[in-house]
């Protein structure tokens, strides 16, 4: 097992200098940013395309997937795209629709939750197909948090020839029951059983009101949506099954101070091997790799892409 502890000093950058770092994000605006859209199953999907100078996307691109109920302009996503630009790499940060037309910004808790992680797989596939139509031959699939879980399953099952590498940042390895009860009290089992009964009765897509769901208290949620994210039997939690079935080089990047998913490195480490899957721990990084930690995470990924072995 290859297991790396990163504690890189900012004045000792190695093979991939980040040309100014995160501080420049406050004063610089990317010159090649473009919002792109496509139609998919009656919805408009949107994404933020950043093209590096003196290149075009046919030379290769990083496809970035945000985490649960997030969006393409979260700080971690924008910082990642800037760091990639600084290293002459283009990227496409997509907004998963979560069932909303042309969705932007965080998912509003007052909206009904009618989506599942399987639909996210379909939208990732739609964006890979969009890149294929643009002439892209090589795609690095990079994702954060729950997006990492979805990208793991996608990579293990879809096997698009264009997708050559996978980078998973802070994958969702947490105990869903524990995180739920820390926020809402001891009603997890009751809510889970209610969702299962409704699904088994053929009402999995019918909305239920006053359901606590992630950080949305008393939300309106379908049973299928709730089970997609909270059921311990969900395939998006099955690292032991899916990681060994990924055939492309994969890097998992976690933070040693991840407060949302404590001990994530310990949960992932048993599935890491030296040939195909690497694990990098960024010392002091939280779940969102704030401040200079995202630079270190991107530097780790870029070194991995240069030499995945």
Q: For the range 77-81, what are the long-range contacts, defined as Cβ-Cβ under 8 Å and sequence gap of 24 or more?
A: 77/48, 77/144, 78/25, 79/22, 79/25, 79/289, 79/294, 79/295, 80/142, 80/294, 80/297, 80/298, 81/30, 81/48, 81/50
Whole-angstrom Cα distance, residue 227 to residue 20?
44
Which position has the higher pLDDT, 267 or 151? 151
Query: What average pLDDT does the segment 104-110 reach?
Result: 94
Domains in the chain (CATH in brackets) are: 3-178+236-306 (3.40.50.1820)
Say which residues have a Cβ less than 8 Å from residue 7's Cβ, sequence separation at least 6: 283
Residue 181 predicted with pLDDT over 70: yes
Rg of the chain over all Cα atoms, to the nearest angstrom: 19
Give 28-73 pLDDT, tens digit per residue. 334 467 999 999 999 999 999 999 998 888 989 999 999 999 999 9
Question: Which run of H or of E encompasses 4?
Answer: strand 3-6
Query: What average pLDDT does the segment 135-146 reach?
Result: 96
Q: Which pLDDT value is given to residue 32?
A: 67
Instruction: Look at strands 43-50 and 91-94 and give their pairing.
Output: antiparallel
Which position has the higher pLDDT, 102 or 2? 102
The pLDDT confidence band at residue 2, using thresholds 50, 70 and 90, is: very low
Whole-angstrom Cα distance, residue 107 to residue 104?
8
């Amino acid at each position: 097992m290859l297991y790396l502890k990163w504690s890189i000093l900012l004045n000792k950058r190695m093979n991939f200098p980040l040309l100014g770092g995160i501080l420049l994000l406050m004063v610089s605006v990317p010159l090649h940013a473009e919002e792109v859209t496509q139609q998919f199953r009656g919805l408009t999907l949107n994404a933020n395309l950043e093209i590096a100078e003196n290149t075009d996307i046919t030379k290769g691109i990083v496809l970035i997937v945000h985490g649960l109920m997030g969006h393409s302009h979260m700080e971690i996503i924008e910082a990642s795209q800037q760091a990639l630009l600084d290293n002459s790499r283009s990227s496409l940060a997509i907004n998963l629709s979560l069932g909303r037309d042309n969705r932007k910004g965080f998912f509003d808790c007052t909206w009904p939750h009618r989506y599942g992680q399987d639909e996210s797989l379909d939208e990732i596939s739609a964006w890979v197909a969009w890149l294929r139509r643009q002439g892209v031959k090589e795609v690095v699939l990079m994702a954060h948090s729950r997006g990492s879980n979805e990208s793991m399953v996608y990579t293990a099952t879809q096997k698009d020839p264009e997708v050559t590498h996978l980078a998973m940042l802070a994958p969702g390895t947490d105990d869903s029951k524990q995180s739920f009860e820390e926020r809402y009290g001891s009603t997890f089992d009751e809510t889970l059983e209610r969702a299962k009964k409704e699904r088994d009765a053929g009402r999995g897509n019918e909305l239920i009101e006053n359901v606590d769901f992630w950080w949305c208290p008393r939300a309106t949620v379908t049973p299928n949506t709730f089970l997609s994210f909270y059921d311990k039997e969900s395939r998006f939690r099955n690292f032991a099954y899916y990681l060994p079935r990924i055939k492309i080089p994969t890097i998992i990047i976690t933070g040693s101070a991840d407060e949302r998913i404590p001990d994530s490195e310990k949960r992932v480490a048993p599935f890491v091997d030296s040939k195909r899957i690497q694990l990098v721990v960024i010392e002091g990084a939280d779940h969102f790799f704030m401040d200079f930690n995202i630079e270190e995470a991107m530097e780790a990924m870029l070194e991995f892409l240069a030499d995945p072995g």
